[in-house]
Amino acid sequence: MPGPAAEKSGADGPRPLRTRRSRFRARRPHWAWFVAAVTFVTITGAAAFRSLPGLLIDPLHEEFHWTRGTIGLAVSVNLVLYGLTAPFAAALMDRFGIRRVVAAALTVIAVGSGATVWMTAAWQLLLCWGLLVGLGSGSMALAFAATVTNRWFVERRGLVTGILTAASASGQLIFLPLLSWIVQNHDWRPAAVTVALAALAVVPFVWLLLRDHPADVGLKPYGAEEFVEKPAPTPGAATRAVRVLLSAVRTGPFWLLAGTFAICGASTNGLIQTHFVPAAHDERMPITAAASLLAVIGVFDVVGTIASGWFTDRFDARRLLAVYYALRGVSLLFLPLLLYPSVRPSMLFFIVFYGLDWVATVPPTLALCREQYGDDSAIVFGWVLASHQVGAAVVAFLGGVARDTFGSYDVMWYASGALCAAAALMALVIRRRPVAPAVAV
């Protein structure tokens, strides 16, 4: 009798049966989804450090008697480098490959975070927390997600962007409650070591599972109709990043995108992520409770970002941005009225609402970069992300200064709400890139 791979007679004569291996290949997911999964885990691990700064402001102030402005300056250096490194990292990934750059970045984060346990002076905080971790985390910023999305996906780009953006929130969700418990019960040093170990734990996954390009596994990008050859390594990564910037700054959309994203960073990483916990603690709310609220933001951040990616595939990205910024600004104006020693329903409503809006701005911003700048969009988005982090850095520093000067953060909440209103208007005036009309034949 014929075996499993023998021919089977049909109406049109003999035809071969598919083997088990071929049937498995037909059913299994496209490799792009495995790459997206590894990228998600990598960004989640890197997000562990970004969960820490807001928890350490009070402990470092009490132990070393550094002003909150000094500590905020270290956070600002980290945020600026996080942003400025991103466009160069995107170009380095084109030159040396995603896997090498990301593995090196995770190692730098681990070294910088682990070394903080021996610091005794403020300049050491700037070096470890600001310089090393800023450079490492910047190499795995959203430009990393943009590079993976652009290379591996043609369809579902908005959805994948939302999922990868949500990875940072997932890291916050996982690590914030743990780190706040460690800080409160075992001091801040074990928390810094935990971050270092989390970064190192991701390195083997990156090295073994991440692939640089679909051609490395003999596949087309997801949703593509034609096979795409892997491009040759691009020399002069730094030169290319600067060249792309010099070209982009001559266009109006770049300044509008950079301006809106700077306000995005100011109202999220710079303000809420850095100063919400100490502001809540000023109102006698326990640190663990305030950190748990930030973790809840992370829960709804995941939902809001993925939903925003889905919306971006279907609606005008400019109008989405305008709605997101306007609603965020309104919510910040009410925040000073919601801070109490205990968590009330009104605060929970704010947390859920702010979580849904937290980085929902990323998928439409990246879509607009892709629309305006094509193949250079990942590097352009890296520069736009740099403006995000500059805005975050300025507010991280000014928030500490405002607290030292006025004794509260109220002025920062109101100023950031007004900036969000301005960002909503800026988003609406971004012009669509004209599409060449079809030529009749």
Q: Which domain range does residue 49 map to? A: 29-225+233-428
- Which residue type does 94 have? D
3-state helix, strand, coil in the chain (%, to 5): 75, 0, 20
User: How deeply is 406 buried, as exposed, middle or buried, from its count of CB atoms within 10 A (0-12, 13-18, 19+)?
Assistant: exposed
Number of structural domains in the chain: 1
Is there a domain that residue 142 lies in? yes
Backbone angles phi, psi at 80, to 5 degrees: -65, -45
317, exposed or middle or buried, with CB in 10 Å at 0-12, 13-18, 19+?
Answer: buried
- 15 within some domain: no
Distance CA 113, CA 101 (A): 18
User: pLDDT for 151-200, tens place per residue?
Assistant: 888 887 777 877 787 776 667 667 777 888 888 888 888 888 888 888 88
Is residue 132 within 8 A of residue 78, CB to CB? The reply is no
Cα-based distances in Å from 109 to 99, 308, 373: 16, 29, 31
3-state secondary structure 32-83: HHHHHHHHHHHHHHHHHHHCCHHHHHHHHHHHHCCCHHHHHHHHHHHHHHHH
Q: What is the CA radius of gyration of the chain?
A: 23
Residue 6 in 3-state DSSP?
coil
Q: Which two tokens stand for residue 216?
A: 């490395």
The enclosing domain of 294 has a CATH number of: 1.20.1250.20
In a domain, 281, yes or no: yes
What residue type is assigned to position 170 of the chain? S
pLDDT in the model for residue 105: 87
In degrees and rounded to multiples of 5, residue 8 shows phi and psi of -115, 130
DSSP state of 249: T
Q: What single letter denotes the amino acid at residue 8?
A: K
pLDDT per residue as tens digits for the range 66-101: 887 788 788 778 777 877 777 777 777 877 888 888
Helix (H) or strand (E) holding 318: helix 317-334
- What does each of the 441 residues of the chain score in pLDDT, given as a tens digit? 444 444 444 444 444 444 444 444 445 677 788 888 888 888 777 666 666 776 777 788 888 888 877 887 887 787 778 777 777 777 778 778 888 888 888 888 888 888 888 888 888 888 887 888 888 877 776 667 777 888 888 887 777 877 787 776 667 667 777 888 888 888 888 888 888 888 888 888 888 878 777 887 777 888 777 777 777 766 666 787 788 889 999 988 999 999 999 999 899 888 888 888 888 888 888 878 888 887 788 778 778 888 888 888 888 889 999 999 999 999 999 988 888 888 888 888 898 888 888 778 888 998 898 888 887 887 888 788 888 878 988 888 888 888 888 888 889 999 999 999 999 999 999 887 654 443 333
Distance CA 227, CA 175 (A): 40
24 in a domain, yes or no? Answer: no
* Secondary element (H or E) of residue 8: strand 7-10
**297 touches 172 (CB < 8 A):** yes
Residue 16 domain-assigned? no
Whether residue 329 lies inside any domain: the answer is yes
The pLDDT of residue 49:
66
**Is 50 in contact with 168 (CB distance < 8 Å)?**
yes
CA distances from residue 253 to 83, 322, 362 in whole angstroms, order as listed:
19, 15, 16
Q: With respect to residue 440, please indicate whether it lies within any of the assigned structural domains.
A: no
Q: What is the DSSP string of 146-168?
A: HHHHHHHBSSSHHHHHHHHHHHH
Whether 8 is in a domain gets the answer: no
